Amino acid sequence: MNLKELYQEIILDHGKNPRNLRQTENFNKDAKGHNPLCGDKVHIFLKLNENKKIEDISFEGSGCAISMASASIMTDLVREKEEKEAKNLIKDFLEMIKEKPELATKSLNEDEKTKLMSLSGVKQYPMRVKCATLAWHTLISAINNTQEEINSESID
């Protein structure tokens, strides 16, 4: 257990001053996520262009530092990515948070990787993993346009 790894500067910064905390104008996809155990809520808005590239992404919601930082960092990293690239990054992130030591992605530069890896501290706190993954599962739902609210208790 290491609180310093969990609450790194970058997490505290994004938790306190979340980036992209707003609603995208003219969004064309969105999805909601909810953690019924702690009440964390997230609503993700996407604007994809005709080439399926994410032109803008934003979110609204409330929650703990981990969940807000995760949504903030995620929205920063997937902007300007193709839908397919974004899906690969989500898969990569979720695998890293659950079991793998590192990210496999080649679509991020070193700074971006460091930023994303700052969330890996939750691995030592199994009860908090869902805080970190809620926004990511909700993004999948938004991309796939399933219109289904993500409930953190019914995902792996």
Residues in contact with other proteins by the rule CB under 8 A? 1, 3, 6-7, 12, 16, 37-41, 62-66, 125, 127-128, 131
13/85 with CB nearer other proteins: 13
78/131 with CB nearer other proteins: 131
Min. distance of Cβ 126 from other proteins in angstroms? Answer: 11
Min. distance of Cβ 155 from other proteins in angstroms? Answer: 18
Which of 37, 46, 61, 16 has the alpha carbon at shortest distance from 130?
37
Min. distance of Cβ 149 from other proteins in angstroms? Answer: 16
Query: Checking DSSP bridges between strand 29-35 and strand 40-48, what pairing results, if any?
Result: antiparallel
66/71 with CB nearer other proteins: 66
44/132 with CB nearer other proteins: 132
Min. distance of Cβ 68 from other proteins in angstroms? Answer: 8
106/127 with CB nearer other proteins: 127
Strand partners, 61: 42
Min. distance of Cβ 135 from other proteins in angstroms? Answer: 15
